[in-house]
Amino acid sequence: MVFTSAAFLFLFLPAFLAVFHALPVRTRPWWLLLASYAFYGWWRLDFLALFVGSTVAAFAAGRLVARWRESRPAGARWALGIGVGLQLLALAYFKYADFGIESLNALLTTFGGRGIPLPDVILPIGISFYVFQSISYLVDLWRRDGPEGARFVHVAAYIALFPQLIAGPILRFKHVAPQLLRPVPSWRSFGEGARRFMLGFTKKVLIADAVAPVVEASFALSSPTATDAWLGTIAFTVQLYFDFVGYSDMAIGLGGMIGIRIRENFDRPYLSASITEFWRRWHMSLSRWLREYLYFPLGGNRLGRRRTYANLATVMVLGGIWHGAAWTFAVWGAYHGALLALERMLGERREARGLPARGGARAWRVPATFLLVMLGWVLFRADGIGQAWTMLLGMAFVHGAGLSAELAWQLPNRGLASLLVGLVVIFWPAARTRYDDAGYRVPAWRAARDASGRVSGALAAARERATDWGIMPLFALSILRTLADTASPFLYFQF
């Protein structure tokens, strides 16, 4: 079930909200858990069993870690290792078994050997996200960085929370647990959540889905010209952003409708002035997870320059492979790891020479960073290294410059118009989003009031209300588009 499907909009969501708000507060976590399992099981019941088993294993291991951490630390470490190992084992089998065997077969064939039959494993939807949340729950218990003694219903509801179950944001139990104990939304939070959901819905349907045909047609060309390749790459840059930020908006909105605050996942990342800044503003929950549970345990930047560069490269390669079981994702991760290491190296050299850190010249650093990010997206989108190379050659004018006739007749007017609108929205000048101490976005009306007084706050609130009313006809149009077309899965569902 996807958020843009008629079954979710007109059946699941109204029924869930009606029952949720009618139930006593103490029973709402149970209803949230059952509804989340129904949401996940709508796709395949056998993978729901895997999901429940993964949750039970995480909860049982967590109980042992918390119980033995003081009295039997060796036993607690074993419980932690087994709990994390089981999660990683499930992820490795279902996500990487075919990829590993295919790579091995290619090596065996090269040396004249016989290949191993593929097991044809089906990837359970959302497994990368719920495995990461289970691991963070266990590690946080070991670190004493979260509530202990939580009931199963609260741990299971945290892992299965349907608004963000399939494609994030990745949550930590310590942020969600207090809200699960007493999920009581206010009218303000419900209204803000509904508006945020509508905003994300329009981003997904009217921009991301409309641009998708341009991307498909461009990347399918055997010899794209420079115009073909650049058009397809820019279109994918817009599609991926609005597809993923649209899902995140809907997830945050659904959380607000049931009284659960979900931290922001994007902060206008294409306006970043460096790759380092980009990863602070793109898929922020994944960046935080990789930093907290991989980069720091590897030593972070505490073990010398070379080790820091190696840690950055390792984390980004693993982060790339987390996105997908293909060499293109590994190379994409290595590409970003090299850029991060290079930026850090240049910064260290400037400091050693007594020069100020790079802070100005955003006028050229933002487009330069945007260009580097787009080049990486070619690898992210391509079906293989060969297709990525073909697109990069096209971008370098190897196959000519002008728009090819093969692509021209496939370009939909609606897709091109949505592409232009998406670019305008991405680069439209606006004030930087403010966040509170817990990492949640501060509403524009409150940020303006805090900064400039009551009058500015009232004006900001009026602008927000005008925007809200403008969203409604766009939301209605998005629903009509959804009913007229087949629902398009979110891109991050495959991860």
Whether 207 and 242 have beta carbons less than 8 Å apart is answered as yes
pLDDT of 114 over the 80 cut? no
- Of 107-121, 172-186, 398-412, minimum mean pLDDT range: 107-121
How many other CB atoms sit within 10 Å of the CB of residue 381? 23
Cβ neighbourhood burial of 314 (10 Å; 0-12, 13-18, 19+): middle
Give residue-wise pLDDT tens across range 131-162.
Answer: 999 999 999 999 998 888 899 999 999 999 99
Q: What is the pLDDT of residues 415-430, one digit of tens each?
A: 999 999 999 999 987 7
Closest CA to 40 of 123, 120, 122, 124: 124
Per-residue pLDDT band at 489 (split at 50, 70, 90): low
Region at 123 (left for phi over 0; alpha for psi -120 to 50; beta for the rest): beta
Catalytic residue from among 154, 175, 283, 323: 323
The percentage of residues in the chain with a pLDDT greater than 90, rounded to a whole number, is 64
Separation CA 34–CA 156 (nearest Å): 10
Mean pLDDT of the chain: 88
For the chain, what's the residue count? 495
Note the pLDDT tens digit of each residue in 70-86.
Answer: 889 999 999 999 999 99
The single-letter DSSP state of residue 441 is B
Say yes or no to pLDDT of 437 above 60. no
Summarize pLDDT for 252-264 with one digit per residue, the tens.
Answer: 999 999 999 999 9
307-361 pLDDT, tens digit each: 999 999 999 999 999 998 899 999 999 999 999 999 998 876 665 665 555 556 7
Say whether 323 is catalytic: yes
**Average pLDDT in the 380-391 region?**
95
pTM: 0.90
